[in-house]
Amino acid sequence: MSEDMIISAKKAAACKAVDDFVKDGQIIGIGSGSTIVFAVEKLAQRVRNEHLKVTCIPTSFQARQLILQNQLTLGDLETNPRVDVAIDGADEVDDCLTLIKGGGGCLTQEKIVASCASTFVVICDDGKDSRHLGEKYKKGIPIEVIPFAYVPIRNKIETRFGGNVELRMAKAKAGPVVTDNGNFILDWKFSTTPHPPIDSWNEVNKELKMIPGVVETGLFVSMASCVLIGMSDGSVKEKASKAL
């Protein structure tokens, strides 16, 4: 898809999510990433036009700034621990609605907010839609880790699961990327041969989380309530899980 088509697809998915799932009086989780910009703009438009009263819970510094810039009501999980609907993007979604998230480094807070939501709506363009994880997204599964432990964690993942684990380096400064939580991110580029390489991402996620020093993974398993995929022609399809 051209850049204009990608933007059109993202905007279509974002607008449908806000139109279909946001209601007056709700607590709304606001995700991170480029697609979320369109969702927040649409939400702000609805608030102005329909005089909705909603409170927005950010998943990152970027999301917080978007909420404030669009003059929406900012909240937090301390005062609003139950979220009605969370809207967020994804780097990839497979046929079981398992997600890879964290390309922007906000995976931990994104997963916390999603876990507090009664409904978790995922929005993305068609370029993120895959049959199996790793089919289109080649940057690996992000894993947030305590800086002290990144080398042993890297070694344990490569020994147990194979593939290649890399410390994510910053592009505009010297040194590694540091998350909003003050941690590092490892990107696990898992093997996609033989295909599909892994039968249960749920079990993999559990094993990764058990490694001391791992804060959170970018594997979102059995969390998405709905995945809305924007198409190049501006239409939106809902992806249903093919899990047995």
The catalytic residue positions are: 110
**232: number of Cβ within 10 Å:** 16
- Cβ burial of 137 (10 Å; 0-12, 13-18, 19+) is middle
Residue 186 parent element (H or E): strand 184-189
What are the Cα distances from residue 187, in Å, to 62, 208, 240? 21, 13, 28
Written as six digits, the tokens of 136 are: 């289109």
Return d(Cα 214, Cα 207) in angstroms, integer. 10
- The candidate with the shortest Cα–Cα distance to 27, out of 55, 67, 63, 64, is 55
Cβ(11)–Cβ(230) under 8 Å? yes
Helix axes 201-209, 150-161, angle to 10 degrees: 150
Residue with tokens 């810039």: 69
Residue with tokens 């404030």: 68
